[in-house]
Structure 1
Amino acid sequence: MKKWSIKKKIWITMICMLMTVIVGSIFLTLFLYDELYVEKQIDLLVTEGEGLAEFYREYGAEDPFFERLNWSEQNIASDVLFSDDPMQLGSGAPFEPYSNENIITFEERQLLLEGETVVMVRPHPHFGQDILGVAIPLFQDGHLSGSVLLSMPLSEVYEPFIQIRTILIVSLTLVILVIILIGNKVINNVVKPLSDMKQVSKLMAEGDFSKRIDVTCVDELGQLAHSFNILSASLEKVEDNRREFLANVSHELRTPLSYMKGYAEAMEEGIIEQKKGLAIIQKESNRLERLVNDLLDLAQLEGDSYPLQCEPIAFAQLISDVIESFELVVTQKNIRMTKNIDEGSIIYGDSDRLEQVIRNLLDNAIRYTPATKGITITLTTDKEWSELIIADEGIGIPEEDLLAVTERFYRVNKARTRNSGGTGLGLAIVSQIINKHGGMFELSSKVGQGTSARIRLKTM
């Protein structure tokens, strides 16, 4: 199958439309000339000829008839020939004085003898133009006694259409010039965005999402190009996140593996005590296990088909159970824990996932709250929502980092990695779980004053 470019298709379409207009205009002009104006002139000659026939029936070849004959010749701008010999019009008019030929043919003469009106078109032998003629039989006392021929040059009939033809030719010429002068520019305005999209899509298929389309119009093509730029920017962001994620995963996995390998080699060579080396290897393996589990959790939660095991939950009891599991850590770190929980809070959700949310938030609060400082846990309920707030008096998060802390592997202090614990995925998992439950998750913080995590879930 032959492939044509859009530009070629548009040009072909425009040429076809132009040819259709030209051909249609020609046919319209011919129709107006042949079917309307010429027919009108024939009707005029026939009507005038029939009027002469009426005079002839009444007066015969007398002065009143000849006066009417002269009047007709002067007023309808035609040549009028009278013959009292129905067998032959012998004078030669309307070709006189340039020809001695008979005016009508034998067949037409037979029609006249039968009383029929004859319409004829004859070429003028001298001027090279056609002559329109109408022959009318003349009857007197019921007998054919003559004929009258009214004729006029067709050039006079055609003359009114010369101006129309000139206007038509000029108009078509202007249309062609307009198409030639601005058609290419218009087509380029249509084709260029599409060509740019083709180039950008080709680069996108090769993995380069940095190219953008120059949007110079606000029509449908401009809107499409703008949407294409949005798509390209989104894909570029996804690609950057993917690369960053792979780099972070590689780094996070490589570090505990390097620790484990290094301490195993050191134990084998006797450089470090076996007990101490095994403790470090166990610590790093636990960390590696948490990282892998968190990655699996996040991958599942980001999928659209991840099923939640939802059921009615006594939210207050779930929170109390999680707090109780942290009591030892809180006591050892000398942190004050304050609870203000509405025991009547009942929600509908996945208890395991919501427990994971509370553990992640409480673990962060404990980790970043200094000794002697406090953590306040508040649960309130109204007709539609249950709201959980976990507020600490820790180091806080800078304002410019608040929106990014829910991203995977994001850390406020890039130097604070393993010493502070955590995989950098906790808040990302919290955000995904709350979204799956149709709730809201917000963070507010001030550096040096603490951080507040706010969760809203619909009540039953």
Structure 2
Amino acid sequence: MLKMGRKGITLKVFLITSALLVVTASFIYLILYFFLPSYYYKYKTSALEEGTVRLVQDVEKISIEEARAKLDSFVQKYNVALVIHDKYGKILYFPSSFVPTFNIAIPSPPPSQFKTVIPEDELQSIKGEGIPAVYTIQKPIVFTNGQFIASITATLQPIDEASNAILMFTPYIVVIIIVVSLGGALLYARIIAHPLLKINHVAKRMANLDFTQICEIRSRDEIEELSNSLNELSYNLQQTMSELQEANEKLKDDIQKEREMEGKRREFIATISHELKSPITAVMGQLEAMICEIGVYKDRDKYLKRSLEIMQDMQNLVNEVLEVSRLETYDFSPKLSRVNVSDTVNNIIHRLEYFSTAKSIEMQANIQDGLYVLADQKLLEKAVNNIVNNAIKYSPQGKRVQVSLYEEQEHIALCVLNTGVKIEELELEKVFQPFYRIEKSRNRNTGGSGLGLFIVKRILEIHHVSYMLQNTNDGVLFVIQFPKEVSSA
């Protein structure tokens, strides 16, 4: 059923098509009613006149007896009454098979009810007004046995009968026109509007950001092209929306990370302030006491040396803070080169030999020669130095620190083991946080600044190198795994 509540495309097409069909059919019907009689009259008279001319020409060289077959054929073909007579009215030919339904005029002169339409030797007569009932032609006709007059009379009554029949049939014609027009319009409206309604349905779902519906129309015309364009638009919008959603999720993650970094940055600054406040206060107190020569601080040489040591620790802390700040820069990029990691580790072990000897710690090195990795030389040295230095610093006196570097099937592994110590499982992840110290006294001589392993973590993350800190039966093991594809650079 058509939706009549609002003027949809189906209703519009239906109404327009119905109106066109009704108007067209009515127009054709009126044309038939008003113009068919006159057209038929002209056609009939013209055909009769042409046939008469041909008949006269055909019988010129034969006698009237020989022309009887042609005359009978003419009568049957044109359904007329043909009478051939002389100028005195004597009938020489009359078709035996013709039964006249009207009076045959053999005028001389023509009766008053006829009108002469062909001058001189040719007479055409029309009876009545408007479309006449009969049509008469009198024309001279010549045979070998003499010249005579052919009186031809044709009835035009069927024209009036056809007009009356059309008029009587008008109510039925109107009903048929309306029914056929409405049925045809309904079918046409459905054929035309159905694909448009499907396109409209898909477009509405697209407006609601639902791109799952596909418009399938196979009409091989512009509507099919529109359907394909709509499907392509839907696909492109779906792809764009997916990309926007991914970008939005990434943006949310970036914002969340930025917030976390901002929180860490505030915490980092607060911790730095605390770390710097204590030594500055200590130095200021010592300097004021030395200036005022209070108690033991009268020995200026001794306490100036201590103040210098504190300031050196502060300088080291500031340098590490600057290093952290540089590594935390958003656009920081390491200067990668092919580094001989075997030589780098050996050099660091020799450099820290003084500190291991001071604590009677045995250094065991198992370094495979000729191993290379793609890394930033300075950053790699900084990370390895911090790891080995921490191993020495946190190992009890007289214990052992073992450094191994070797090639595995998929990695180059660097392992640093310091014996005689354990780290609580809950603290294994915390040791990589800035300013976190396992040694709770916060003594820099025994606990360091708390930034060493944090710097190691950032350097390894920048190089996309995996690392692990774990407890073993012998102590604490730090493992770094350089991927082979990096090492082959």
Change (3 A) 1:232 1:382: closer
Q: Does 1:36 align with 2:21?
A: yes
For the 8 Å contact 2:40–2:159, the answer to whether it is kept is: no
Change (3 A) 1:25 1:294: same
Change (3 A) 1:232 1:315: closer
- In the TM superposition, residue 376 of structure 1 has moved relative to its aligned partner by 0.8
For the 8 Å contact 1:86–1:145, the answer to whether it is kept is: no
For the 8 Å contact 1:341–1:380, the answer to whether it is kept is: yes
Query: Superposition pairs for residues 326-345 of structure 1, below 5 Å?
Result: 326-345=352-371
For residues 392-421 of structure 1, give each alpha carbon's deviation from its aligned partner in whole angstroms, at most 9, with x where no partner exists: 124333333333433333334655453534
Match of 1:261 in 2: 284
2:270 to 222, 239, 247: 247
1:346 to 358, 363, 372: 372
For the 8 Å contact 1:336–1:375, the answer to whether it is kept is: yes
| SS in structure 1 of the partner of residue 308 of structure 2 | helix
Match of 2:227 in 1: none
For the 8 Å contact 1:330–1:366, the answer to whether it is kept is: yes
For residues 324-368 of structure 1, give each alpha carbon's deviation from its aligned partner in whole angstroms, at most 9, with x where no partner exists: 222222122122221111123234433332221221001111121
Query: Superposition pairs for residues 119-198 of structure 1, below 5 Å?
Result: 146=160, 148=163, 150=167, 151-152=170-171
| In structure 1, C-alpha distance between the alignment counterparts of 2:404 and 2:420, rounded to whole Å | 17
Query: Superposition pairs for residues 25-424 of structure 1, below 5 Å?
Result: 25-40=10-25, 86=130, 146=160, 148=163, 150=167, 151-152=170-171, 230-231=253-254, 233-271=256-294, 272=297, 273-303=299-329, 305-306=331-332, 308-382=334-408, 385-412=411-438, 416=442, 418=444, 420-424=446-450
- In the TM superposition, residue 287 of structure 1 has moved relative to its aligned partner by 1.6
| In structure 1, C-alpha distance between the alignment counterparts of 2:249 and 2:342, rounded to whole Å | 49
Q: AA paired with 1:31?
A: I
For the 8 Å contact 2:286–2:303, the answer to whether it is kept is: yes
| In structure 2, C-alpha distance between the alignment counterparts of 1:227 and 1:434, rounded to whole Å | 24
Match of 1:73 in 2: none
- In the TM superposition, residue 449 of structure 1 has moved relative to its aligned partner by 5.3
Q: Please, what TM-score do these two structures have when normalized by structure 2?
A: 0.53
| SS in structure 2 of the partner of residue 405 of structure 1 | helix
Q: Does 1:431 align with 2:457?
A: yes
Single out whichever of 29-38 and 280-289 deviates more from structure 2: 29-38
| SS in structure 1 of the partner of residue 401 of structure 2 | strand
For the 8 Å contact 2:338–2:375, the answer to whether it is kept is: yes
For the 8 Å contact 1:383–1:459, the answer to whether it is kept is: no
| SS in structure 1 of the partner of residue 479 of structure 2 | strand
| In structure 2, C-alpha distance between the alignment counterparts of 1:310 and 1:234, rounded to whole Å | 26
| In structure 1, C-alpha distance between the alignment counterparts of 2:334 and 2:267, rounded to whole Å | 29
- In the TM superposition, residue 389 of structure 1 has moved relative to its aligned partner by 0.6
| In structure 2, C-alpha distance between the alignment counterparts of 1:277 and 1:425, rounded to whole Å | 27
| In structure 2, C-alpha distance between the alignment counterparts of 1:257 and 1:86, rounded to whole Å | 132
| In structure 1, C-alpha distance between the alignment counterparts of 2:353 and 2:23, rounded to whole Å | 111
| Structure of higher CA gyration radius | 2
- In the TM superposition, residue 24 of structure 1 has moved relative to its aligned partner by 3.4
| In structure 2, C-alpha distance between the alignment counterparts of 1:226 and 1:307, rounded to whole Å | 25
- In the TM superposition, residue 423 of structure 1 has moved relative to its aligned partner by 2.1
| In structure 1, C-alpha distance between the alignment counterparts of 2:430 and 2:130, rounded to whole Å | 112
| In structure 1, C-alpha distance between the alignment counterparts of 2:303 and 2:312, rounded to whole Å | 14
Match of 1:459 in 2: 487
Question: How many aligned residue pairs are there?
Answer: 323
Change (3 A) 1:31 1:328: same
For the 8 Å contact 1:379–1:386, the answer to whether it is kept is: yes
For residues 274-307 of structure 1, give each alpha carbon's deviation from its aligned partner in whole angstroms, at most 9, with x where no partner exists: 2332222212211221122112222223336545
Change (3 A) 1:316 1:259: same
| SS in structure 2 of the partner of residue 339 of structure 1 | strand
| In structure 1, C-alpha distance between the alignment counterparts of 2:156 and 2:178, rounded to whole Å | 38
| SS in structure 1 of the partner of residue 446 of structure 2 | coil
Listed as ranges, the gaps of 5+ residues in structure 1 are: 1-17, 61-83, 88-139, 169-174, 176-182, 190-218
Q: What's the % identity of the aligned pairs?
A: 25
| In structure 1, C-alpha distance between the alignment counterparts of 2:282 and 2:79, rounded to whole Å | 137
| In structure 1, C-alpha distance between the alignment counterparts of 2:35 and 2:79, rounded to whole Å | 14
For the 8 Å contact 1:375–1:390, the answer to whether it is kept is: yes
| In structure 2, C-alpha distance between the alignment counterparts of 1:421 and 1:412, rounded to whole Å | 7
Q: AA paired with 1:39?
A: T
Give the alignment's Cα RMSD to 1 decimal.
4.8
| SS in structure 2 of the partner of residue 390 of structure 1 | strand
| In structure 2, C-alpha distance between the alignment counterparts of 1:156 and 1:291, rounded to whole Å | 104
- In the TM superposition, residue 310 of structure 1 has moved relative to its aligned partner by 4.6
Listed as ranges, the gaps of 5+ residues in structure 2 are: 45-77, 81-127, 132-153, 191-196, 198-203, 211-240
For residues 160-191 of structure 1, give each alpha carbon's deviation from its aligned partner in whole angstroms, at most 9, with x where no partner exists: 85997xxx9xxxxxx9xxxxxxx9xx98x9xx
Change (3 A) 1:236 1:280: same
